Amino acid sequence: MADQEATWGVVIVAAGRGTRMGTVESKQYLLLRDKPILVHTLQTFEAMSEIAAMCLVVGPQDVERCEALVSDYGLHKVKSVTAGGSERQHSVQQGLRALDGVADWVMVHDGVRPFVTHKAVRACMAKAMETGAAVLAVPVKDTIKQVNDNGIITATPERRSLWAIQTPQAFRRSLLVQGLEKAAADRFVGTDDAMAVERLGVAVSVAEGDYTNIKITTPDDLPYAEFLLATRERERGTDV
């Protein structure tokens, strides 16, 4: 079901305040080297020729601030900075509306995942165009235990079947719109975008990503993020 003339848009979700970082500043605006984490993320997709447009979804109080960042850093593919909703899927819906008529295919990506590689993004795009929906993911390395409210282990799932899900998550735009509309009608709130499509009975495929595609969430993530950035800078000149 691949489209030869597919147009791609990206919804960058950065509307969360985030309390686990323990800082006054929201995590997406913390500086990584000399730029906000969010800018690093946006620049990754800005540099990809396959991407026609982006919509940045942020907290209502941050719209003007992010419009200034878009201008200051020359992020020409960001066609809209939009205020998000109370839940992630509401924010994604806002972003999809902004891309209406612009892109037939969309990716949704966390604003605080600045280290996704172009290779991984393209793998996710290709898999989505084969099947209609795909997510980046990596095999789980650790043994996972299911634990009840009393701290007692109740099950040990087979590790070979477990994958840690990342972003971007890629979809035919109309399919994701349909899934989110049904979720809203059912008052269902999922923890990722693929869940809305899964609820339609549509199979979502996995494209294998990289363990370095971290989500910067807690203070412990920052030193590793600095290390990854330094590594990327040493490798500059290659296609990331």
pLDDT in tens, 41-52: 999 999 999 999
Going by C-alpha positions, the residue among 234, 112, 92 that lies closest to residue 175 is: 92
- What secondary structure letter does DSSP report for 19? S
Residues belonging to the chain: 240
Percentage of the chain surpassing pLDDT 90?
84
| Partners of 109 in beta bridges | 12
- pLDDT the model gives residue 239: 47
Q: Three-class SS of residue 207?
A: strand
- pLDDT the model gives residue 33: 87
Q: Three-class SS of residue 129?
A: helix
- pLDDT the model gives residue 233: 84
- pLDDT the model gives residue 128: 97
Fold of 8-133+167-221: Spore Coat Polysaccharide Biosynthesis Protein SpsA; Chain A (3.90.550)
Q: How far apart are CA 102 and CA 8, in angstroms?
A: 8
> Which residues of the chain have a pLDDT value below 70?
1-4, 17-24, 237-240
